[in-house]
């Protein structure tokens, strides 16, 4: 059987209705029928049963069931390991593709591979809201000044470039909701960084790709509707811990040590002030989450190996009412994580030791 040009990878955790709808849409495309594209669904150990529709054999569709939820990066890497395509189209379950999406992506790949200078490493496609308006999906690399400025603007505008500044072509980074990845680039960088459980992993990937000479591009001519972007949803106590961890981890890995130290101090000050306010207002769940954020910043600042599923365990501890005492903070002991990479078909997979500022300056 000829090797597919494209593998569409969908990472799922508890979103089976969205996944079934999206797979039905993609599987009906001519490119899947001809073998030019395959669909790989990676389930990150979702609670509850797998829908019968996903267990029934279907040409061009494959299900990869993971034994644990290692986060978005781990899911993408599992799909990469299982896939056969030269390119990966990473899709969130809650996207609705435009008519003919797969054909347009395959055509885009053909033009990219034929152009002078070679193809890009990463391409971010357009995102739209259900009403058809443009949804932010492109950003510039974060630094300390920009991060401070972001605290002064609405949350739905903090991470991304405003639409009026965007043009097709080279950009710093693109969101992972609808992202095309060159398989050769993935092999060079070793896949997505699984130290990030959720959030900032695509920023780190684009930075690593750029440092190795791969271009990152934005192409709004291909698009999907994104139904539930994180920036438009209320932040749960659990997600607050995870997103703060991801930002701190990005600074620790990719920016100078003084910027990471300054951000850590700011995050700890914010966590203590907000935590005190929550205690005065009787908001115990929020207070626990801010205590967990303070602990995350303290642990990362001390050089602790806090990554992957370890941050998930600590974040889930913020939802535990037993953390209402004045002990060291929610989360309990930090679980051990595995450092030894695994390989499948020549592609690395698994957690790697934290390496501060591996693509940034010392």
Which residue's structure tokens are 């470039």?
161
134 and 249 both lie in a single domain: no
pLDDT band at 229 (very low <50, low <70, confident <90, very high): confident
* Residue 27, token pair as written in the block: 């599987």
pLDDT band at 338 (very low <50, low <70, confident <90, very high): very low
User: Any bridge partners for residue 331, and if so which?
Assistant: none
Residue at which a domain ends, from 233, 254, 280: 233
| Contact (Cβ atoms closer than 8 angstroms) between residue 83 and residue 89 | no
Residue-range definition of the domain harbouring residue 220:
6-233
* Residue 312, token pair as written in the block: 């998930």
229 and 259 both lie in a single domain: no
Total tally of structural domains belonging to the chain: 2
Q: Which residues of 184-199 are buried (b: 16+ CB within 10 A; e: fewer)?
A: ebbeebbbbbbbbbbb
Model confidence pLDDT, tens digit, residues 164-189: 567 889 999 999 999 999 999 999 99
282 and 251 both lie in a single domain: yes
141 and 277 both lie in a single domain: no
Cα–Cα dist 89/10, whole Å = 8
H helical segments located in 190-256: 201-211, 237-254
Cα–Cα dist 362/351, whole Å = 23
Model confidence pLDDT, tens digit, residues 133-158: 988 889 999 998 877 766 666 656 66
* pLDDT value of residue 167: 82
In a domain, residue 160? The reply is yes
- Comparison of pLDDT for 211 and 161, the residue scoring more: 211
Residue at which a domain ends, from 212, 233, 254: 233
164 and 31 both lie in a single domain: yes
Cα–Cα dist 233/205, whole Å = 24
Which residue's structure tokens are 């106590």?
237
Q: What is the CA radius of gyration of the chain?
A: 20
| Contact (Cβ atoms closer than 8 angstroms) between residue 335 and residue 313 | yes
166 and 270 both lie in a single domain: no
Helix (H, G, I), strand (E, B) or coil at 286: helix
116 and 138 both lie in a single domain: yes
Cα–Cα dist 58/79, whole Å = 17
Mean pLDDT of 32-54: 95
Model confidence pLDDT, tens digit, residues 252-297: 999 999 999 999 999 999 999 999 998 888 888 888 899 999 999 9
pLDDT band at 302 (very low <50, low <70, confident <90, very high): very high
77 and 183 both lie in a single domain: yes
Of 7, 210, 226, 5, the C-alpha closest to 126 is 226
pTM of this structure: 0.86
In a domain, residue 1? The reply is no
Using a 10 angstrom Cβ sphere, with 0-12 exposed, 13-18 middle and 19 or more buried, the burial of residue 116 is: exposed
**What CATH number corresponds to the domain at position 157?**
3.90.550.10
CA distances from residue 135 to 87, 299, 355 in whole angstroms, order as listed: 24, 35, 33
Residues 6+ apart with CB under 8 A from 84: 3, 4, 7, 38
* pLDDT value of residue 151: 63
Which residue's structure tokens are 């992202």?
179
The count of C-alpha atoms lying within 13 angstroms of the C-alpha of 283, restricted to the half-sphere facing its C-beta, is 13
- Comparison of pLDDT for 96 and 164, the residue scoring more: 96
* pLDDT value of residue 337: 41
**For the chain, how long is the longest CA-to-CA vector?**
65
CA distances from residue 58 to 3, 27, 83, 276 in whole angstroms, order as listed: 18, 8, 16, 54
Which residue's structure tokens are 């030791």?
353
pLDDT band at 339 (very low <50, low <70, confident <90, very high): very low
* pLDDT value of residue 64: 97
Mean pLDDT of 317-324: 60
Mean pLDDT of 21-31: 96
In a domain, residue 347? The reply is no
């Amino acid at each position: 059987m000829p090797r597919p040009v494209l593998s569409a990878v969908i990472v799922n955790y508890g979103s089976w209705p969205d996944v079934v709808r999206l797979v039905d849409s993609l599987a009906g495309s001519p490119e899947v029928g001809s073998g030019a594209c395959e669909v790989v669904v990676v389930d990150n150990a979702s609670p509850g049963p797998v829908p019968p529709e996903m267990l029934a054999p279907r040409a061009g569709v494959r299900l990869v069931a993971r034994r644990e939820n290692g986060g978005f990066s781990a899911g993408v890497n599992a799909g990469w390991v299982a896939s056969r395509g030269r390119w990966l189209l990473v899709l969130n379950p809650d996207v609705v593709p435009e008519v003919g999406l797969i054909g347009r992506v395959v055509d885009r790949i053909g033009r990219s591979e034929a152009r002078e200078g070679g193809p890009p490493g990463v391409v971010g496609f357009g995102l739209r809201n259900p009403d058809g308006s443009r949804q932010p999906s492109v950003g510039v690399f974060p630094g300390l000044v920009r991060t401070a400025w972001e605290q002064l603007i609405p949350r739905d505008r903090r991470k991304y470039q405003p639409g009026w500044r965007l043009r097709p072509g080279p950009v710093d980074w693109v969101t992972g909701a609808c992202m095309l990845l060159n398989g050769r680039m993935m092999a060079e960088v070793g896949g997505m960084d699984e130290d990030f459980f959720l959030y900032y992993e695509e920023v780190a990937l684009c930075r690593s790709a750029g440092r190795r000479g791969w271009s990152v591009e934005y192409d709004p001519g291909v698009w999907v509707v994104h139904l539930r972007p994180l920036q438009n949803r209320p932040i749960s106590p659990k997600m607050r811990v995870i997103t703060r961890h991801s930002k701190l981890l990005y600074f620790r890995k990719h920016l100078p040590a003084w910027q990471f130290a300054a951000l850590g101090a700011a995050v700890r000050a914010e966590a203590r002030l907000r935590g005190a306010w929550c205690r005065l207002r009787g908001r115990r769940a929020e207070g626990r989450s801010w205590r967990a954020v303070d602990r995350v910043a303290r642990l990362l600042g001390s050089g602790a190996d806090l990554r992957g599923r370890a941050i998930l365990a600590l974040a889930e501890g913020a939802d535990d009412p037993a953390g209402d005492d004045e002990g060291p903070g929610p989360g309990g002991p930090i679980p051990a994580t595995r450092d030894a990479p695994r390989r499948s078909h020549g592609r690395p997979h698994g957690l790697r030791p934290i390496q501060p500022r591996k693509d940034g300056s010392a």
